Structure 1
Amino acid sequence: MLCLRSARLWSSRLLWRACPGDPPLLLPLPGAQAAVPAAGKKDQVEFPALDEEQLEEQFVRGSGPGGQATNKTSNCVVLKHIPTGIVVKCHQTRSVDINRKRARDIMREKLDIFHKGELSEVVVKKKESVVKKQEKRRKVNENLERKRQFKEALAQDLKPGEKSL
């Protein structure tokens, strides 16, 4: 049985110990790093922080499907970055708080593209994905062409009186 009072925090890791006198159940590995990697965050890009004083925020009615939930509530967020004039409109969910966070994320991406241009990580990743998609499409077309040529070769090898398989 674990004693909660004997749990200790070592370099931002929780070390669980059994009751006094028992050997420890989980010890940090020697030389282990204190940081724990976040799952699914390896491709996340660090964008510059937004200065809230440079933002103008409005809440307007959204548009699109959704009926009364869309037509009678002002949960669409419109952000304007005053120095650059970039405007972002976000109406992805019915929650104003989530839309505000997402609008700020989109604004950070747009500002990164505005300042870095073609060197922005967002633009670079998008170009890489386009190239990968084109390469994949090219390989699929090559395979289809090989199959077509193989079938034609089989058809030519058959004698006039024989039936195909």
Structure 2
Amino acid sequence: MSRISTFMNSLYRTSTRIIWRSSPNIPPLPGLTRVFTAGKKDLIELPALNEDELEEQFVRGSGPGGQATNKTSNCVVLKHIPTGTIVKCHQTRSVDINRKRARDIMREKLDVLQKGELSEVLVKKKESMMKKQEKRRKVNENLERKRLFKETLATASKPGNDTV
């Protein structure tokens, strides 16, 4: 039994993706299956991409970088033909990394397109914004308490103020 559990643990650790069929209450886009990414902190269920439905181009990027940007075609433009969704990725100078990142961005966009407001990407983004707002509110409250405390100390230490 321990050999089986050891094998399962190593399989779980080494696998990066598990193909997962769509859930019954969410209709999938035609030709797409679900992918459950394992090994990440926050597991997000994203649609898998069918390479036959993708059109890929390599163009010259724009932005800072000078000669390296202007002379190399390492910007990836990815188009999902059934939905018409286009992704442009020029985050690094490596074409392979840009291709991978463009596909990740495309999967997120298709998830948002398919699920709308119920998309896990949008839900996590909203949760992050709410956490930021709550943290900012707490910081502002703390600053206000410190300001009031300093004011009371200043008024209490003025000469002629004999409070005991």
Q: State the TM-score bracket (shorter-chain normalisation).
A: 0.7 to 0.9
Residue 74 of structure 2 corresponds to which residue in structure 1?
A: 75
**Letter of the 1:130 counterpart:** M
Paired residues for 1:6-155 under 5 Å: 10-11=3-4, 13=6, 36-37=12-13, 41-155=40-154
**Letter of the 1:41 counterpart:** K
Provide the TM-score with structure 1 as the length reference: 0.74
SS at 2:83 equivalent? coil
2:64 and 2:56 map into 1 onto residues whose CA distance is: 24
Select the structure with the greater relative contact order (CA < 8 A; seq sep ≥ 6). Answer: 2
2:64 and 2:158 map into 1 onto residues whose CA distance is: 62
Greater gyration radius: 1
Provide Cα deviations, 1:34-76, integer angstroms capped at 9, x if missing partner.
6555796131313111111111111100111112211111110
SS at 1:63 equivalent? coil
SS at 1:11 equivalent? helix
Aligned length: 137
Provide Cα deviations, 1:15-49, integer angstroms capped at 9, x if missing partner.
xxxxxxxxxxxxxxxxx956555796131313111
Moved over 3 A (4+): 10-14, 32-40
Sort the Cα spacing of 1:136 and 1:99 in 2 relative to 1 into closer, same or farther, 3 A: same
Provide the TM-score with structure 2 as the length reference: 0.75
**Letter of the 2:48 counterpart:** A
2:48 and 2:126 map into 1 onto residues whose CA distance is: 25
SS at 2:41 equivalent? coil
Q: Which has the higher helix share?
A: 2
Q: CA deviation at 1:159?
A: 3.3
Q: CA deviation at 1:13?
A: 3.8
1:37 and 1:90 map into 2 onto residues whose CA distance is: 29
Residue 27 of structure 2 corresponds to which residue in structure 1?
A: none
2:108 and 2:91 map into 1 onto residues whose CA distance is: 17
Provide Cα deviations, 1:76-95, integer angstroms capped at 9, x if missing partner.
00011111111100011111
Sort the Cα spacing of 1:136 and 1:56 in 2 relative to 1 into closer, same or farther, 3 A: same
Q: CA deviation at 1:161?
A: 6.2
Q: Is the 8 A contact 1:11 1:34 kept in 2?
A: no
1:103 and 1:11 map into 2 onto residues whose CA distance is: 37
**Letter of the 1:88 counterpart:** V
